[in-house]
Structure formats: C-alpha cells, structure tokens
Amino acid sequence: MIIIESFEVAVVLLFVTMLCWGSWANTQKLATKTWPFQLFYWDYVIGIVLCSLVLGFTLGSFGEGGRSFTEDLLQAEHNVLLAAFIGGVVFNLANILLVAAIDIAGMAVAFPIGIGLALVIGVVVNYIKYPVGDPFMLFIGVLLVVVAIVLDAKVYRSISKGASKFSTKGIVLSLAAGVLMGFFYRFVADSMSPNFSTPEVGKLTPYSAFFIFSIGILISNFLWNSIAMAKPFSGKPVAYKEYFSKGNLKLHSIGWLGGIIWAIGMSLSLIASEQAGFAISYGLGQGATMVAAIWGVFVWKEFAEASSKTKKYINLMFAFFIVGLVLIIYARIK
C-alpha cells in the first residue's frame, strides 16, 4: 500500500483534510430546497463508502509497504474490526445531530459548540492514549483554534437573521454532537497499527480501517437517518419514496460528491496519523470550521453586508486560527 514517510508530507495531507472537511457542506448548498437533507445524506453516505472502496483497491493495494487492502481485512481480529465499525456508528450519529442543531439553532450556536467541543475532547482523548508531540504547544494551539471558533460564532451571530433562535433543544443537540464527534476518531485509532510499513498482526492499516469505518456509517444510517426522517427535530417527516420520486441524477451526484470530498479528507487524516500522531491529525482536521468560514466570506459572500466592527472580528478570527495551526504543527516538530 502507499504510505508516507515524512512529517512534512503529513502536514500537507492534513491541510487537504481541513479543506475537505470544511468544504463538503457546499454540496448541500447546491441541492435544491425541495430536497430534504435526510435524502441528501443518503447519497453523502454512499459517496463515502464508494470512495473507501476505490482508495482501498488502488492506493491501499499498490506499493510495497505494509499489507494490501484485502490481505489486511482478512487477517484483522474481530475486536479490531468492531472498533473501526463503532467509530463509524458514533461519527454518523454525531454528524446527524450536528446538522439538526444547525437547522434549529443556526451556525452561530451549533458549529462553535459542537465542533469546538469536539476539537478539545478529540485532541485530549487521542493524546492521552497516543502521546505524540509537545503537550504544551499542542494544547495552546488547540486553545487558540477554539478562540477562533468562538469569534466565528460572534461573527455569524452579528449578521445572522436567525441569531435569536437560541433554543434549548439546539444547545443540547450541539453538546451531544460535540461529545460524540470528539470520541469517534479514538475508536478508529484503536483499530490501527501504529506502524504502517510493518503493521501488527491482527490490526488494520489506514485504508482497511477507513473502509470498515465507512461500513459502520452505512449500516447505522438505516437506524439514525431513518429516525431523523420519521421524527425530524424540525420540519415535516420524510418518506423513503421521495428519494426516488423527487431525486434525479444531478441531485444524487451532488450528494455523492459531498461524501467523496469528506471521505478523501478522512482517509488522508488516517494516512498522515503515523507521522503526525492521532491527536495532531484530528486537531488539524477539525480546523475545518475556519475553512467553512472562508467559503462563507470569499465565495458565498455571507458577510458582504457586515459592519466594519464585524469585519475586524473576521480578521482576528483568521489570525487566531493561523497561529493556532502553526503551534499544533510545531508541537510535533519540537
């Protein structure tokens, strides 16, 4: 399989992860208003699974390092497969709760609470189990990224017409999503061998771990998304027949693309984890919140009518974010 052997390349891959995780939601914006998110989400999940298979049979099977994709799957122990599978189940529930929270409370509340909490929990949990990098630099960097996310919330609230929708339900959903999102990566990390070139017997390598993770997402979607369709936190119930009656190739393709974009980010995060460490891989990836803000500022022009004071917060937000990322990277170099 194809593996990387330098921290510098790992950092490049993790920046691509940030771009992917912060960009996939743009595909949802491209879907029509008559296409409920629950139906878009089915295509999104299909895109993730298809991408994991393609990567497994290409990058995961080429090269001389480690084990091939199919060989790796066949030799894996049951508890290892279960860990990666549970990671997918936990992530899927967290992602659906986060989307519901955004729908109810808006980006200004849901994203900072959910992703900010996930960033802190994920880095701490993964660092305790896999302590790679200087802890002082790492956690100072994480703190600065959290400050940037809080400033992001302030910016959204100042320009959002729905800023008053500060409902208890939205806050609870955001907190639940953040806690779950902070733990899913740990399950996947537990399923993987720390050394990819000479992997442990019974453990998985990045490509096979990601595939089992994606299967966890797919199978759990029949539970989590079915509940979201039948008992939505907001809006009307969605029937499965609408997926076929309202959907067309364009709408389905948008969903598949969204899943593929997110999947590429997740796979690169796992591939980079050997050199960067799981805590740093997860921490840099969750900087995706700022990537989403960049899309909002420069592409979707969401802040075009913002006041001069709000624009100062935008600049400060990006400054904290950049410095935080530099410290997280430096934590591994030091």
The span from the CA of 176 to the CA of 265, in Å, is 23
- 90 alpha-carbon distance from chain centroid: 12
* Residue count of the chain: 334
- How many of the other CB atoms lie within 10 Å of CB of 54? 13
- pLDDT on residue 42: 96
Using alpha carbons only, give the angle 215, 35, 263 rounded to the nearest 5 degrees.
Answer: 30
- pLDDT on residue 52: 98
Residue type, 14: L
Residue pLDDT, tens place only, 244-254? 998 999 999 99
Residue pLDDT, tens place only, 176-223? 998 999 999 999 999 999 999 999 999 999 999 999 999 999 999 999
pLDDT tier at 107 (50, 70, 90 boundaries)?
low
- pLDDT on residue 160: 58
Token pair belonging to 294:
């960049």
The span from the CA of 207 to the CA of 66, in Å, is 11
- How many of the other CB atoms lie within 10 Å of CB of 8? 10
Q: Which residues neighbour 297 within 8 Å (Cβ) at sequence distance 6 or greater? A: 303, 314
- pLDDT on residue 165: 47
Query: What number is the average pLDDT over the span 303-324?
Result: 81
Residue pLDDT, tens place only, 150-159? 887 777 667 6
Mean pLDDT of the chain: 88
